[in-house]
Amino acid sequence: EKNGYDHFMLKEIYEQPNVIKDTYRGRLHTDTGMIKMAGVEDNLQKFLNANRILIVACGTSWHAGLVAEYIFEEFARIPVEVEYASEFRYRNPIINKDDVVIAISQSGETADTLAAIKMAKENGAFVFGVCNVVGSSISRETHAGAYTHAGPEIGVASTKAFTTQITVLTLIALRLANAKGTLTKSDYFRYLQEMELIPQKVEEALQTNDVAQKVAAAYKDASNCLYLGRGYNFPVALEGALKLKEISYIHAEGYPAAEMKHGPIALIDEQMPVVVVAPKQEHYDKIVSNIQEIKSRSGKIIAVVTKGDTQVKDLADHVIEIPEVSDALSPLVTTIPLQLLSYHIAVMRGCNVDQPRNLAKSVTVE
């Protein structure tokens, strides 16, 4: 059932254009400007009255939550806090009945996330689930929800669950923005239209596979790796680092690019590969200067850039080119080459890509 692919992970990476489409199909109506999700519509007032949205999740789902924080705040102007479910459940958090809690989980069985949901419910919050597995514990325990339509994810390293989670969360943010009037009509329609172009853009991003493989060959023996990104692409840097460490066992860390000078820059020498997520986006010039700082310390720069980029290209050791995409939707595209890069590195190191050591697909124990 790997469909001719060597591993489930690679198959799942390549499924992304289709499953993203499956996830917005029937929900996104660009012609009429409507977004229809029963779980959101039935509870619209709760979302609109929310003083804040609390997102709880673990691992990759937590990274999707961080992307959602940026999107919700920008589109719908609702304050968002993102928490590790494991911390949230044990720290006596402040939960009000006007809070909306969104729990994100591929498996719908993660013990810490489930416990966080129960706690939020006991405190009177409205709890909304974003799950992939239909009928899972979390989908049953939440008051309402919206499924991702990623299909079964077998590889322990989450890939298509991540991009479909971001898809669902973006639709919710757009729905709320439309109800609140926090986006201009033209921006709102532009995002709906662009959402429909995402599968095509992800398809194009998948064409970076050969380049990702070449870059992988050059760095497969590294013992450390840094990932940097800004804004919407800061969580993408975290996710890139998690993918690399879990399947290749290379120590990797993700940082917001500007945090480099507060510590991690001390690590940089000619042995250190630094993956910089640097598409044309707001504050592009800032990331260019971050790259210059790495270069002047002889770090090796692997940059994910927008097609046609010249500035970063001149500085980087390797560039991976992705199609142009607006800042808010860029994580859906920039994340693709990072998945491919870690996949190839893990394969070249002879690792068990689909079932990395010490890890389980669903973490049902705390």
Among 157, 183, 225, 252, binds ligand M6R (CB under 6 A): 157
- What's the rounded Cα separation, in Å, for the pair 218 and 213? 9
Amino acid of residue 17:
P
Find all residues with CB under 8 Å of 80, minimum gap 6, and list them: 52, 53, 54, 55, 68, 69, 72, 73
Per-residue contact track with ligand M6R, 5 to 44, x per CB under 6 A?
A: ----------------------------------------
- What's the rounded Cα separation, in Å, for the pair 272 and 20? 34
Pick the closer one to ligand M6R by CB: 192 or 353: 353
Q: Provide the greatest CA pair distance for the chain.
A: 56
Amino acid of residue 281:
Q
- Binding piece for ligand M6R, criterion CB under 6 A, among 151-159, 171-179, 226-234, 287-295: 151-159
Contact between 105 and ligand M6R per CB under 6 A: yes
Contact between 61 and ligand M6R per CB under 6 A: yes
- Binding piece for ligand M6R, criterion CB under 6 A, among 103-111, 121-129, 248-256, 313-321: 103-111
The enclosing H or E element of 179 equals helix 160-180
Among 107, 167, 170, 178, binds ligand M6R (CB under 6 A): 107
Within 10 Å of residue 214's Cβ, how many Cβ atoms?
A: 12
Restricted to residues 231-260, the positions that interact with ligand M6R (CB under 6 A) are 242, 246
Contact between 60 and ligand M6R per CB under 6 A: yes
Phi/psi for 28 (5° steps) reads: -100, 120
Residue 328 CB, shortest distance to ligand M6R, in Å, is 22
Which positions are annotated as active-site residues?
361
Contact between 55 and ligand M6R per CB under 6 A: no
Give 300's strand partners: 273
Per-residue contact track with ligand M6R, 68 to 87, x per CB under 6 A?
A: --------------------
Closest by CA to 154, choosing from 132, 138, 125, is 132
Among 23, 158, 164, 170, binds ligand M6R (CB under 6 A): 158
Among 13, 17, 47, 59, binds ligand M6R (CB under 6 A): 59
SS3 275: strand
- What's the rounded Cα separation, in Å, for the pair 366 and 363? 7
Report the residue closest to ligand M6R, judged by CB: 59
Closest by CA to 273, choosing from 331, 200, 215, 219, is 219
Residue 300 CB, shortest distance to ligand M6R, in Å, is 25
Contact between 306 and ligand M6R per CB under 6 A: no
- What's the rounded Cα separation, in Å, for the pair 250 and 263? 20
Contact between 342 and ligand M6R per CB under 6 A: no
Residue 39 CB, shortest distance to ligand M6R, in Å, is 18
Measure CA of the first residue to CA of the last residue in the chain; give whole Å.
31
Residues that bind ligand M6R (CB under 6 A): 58-61, 105-107, 110, 113, 156-158, 242, 246, 359, 362-363
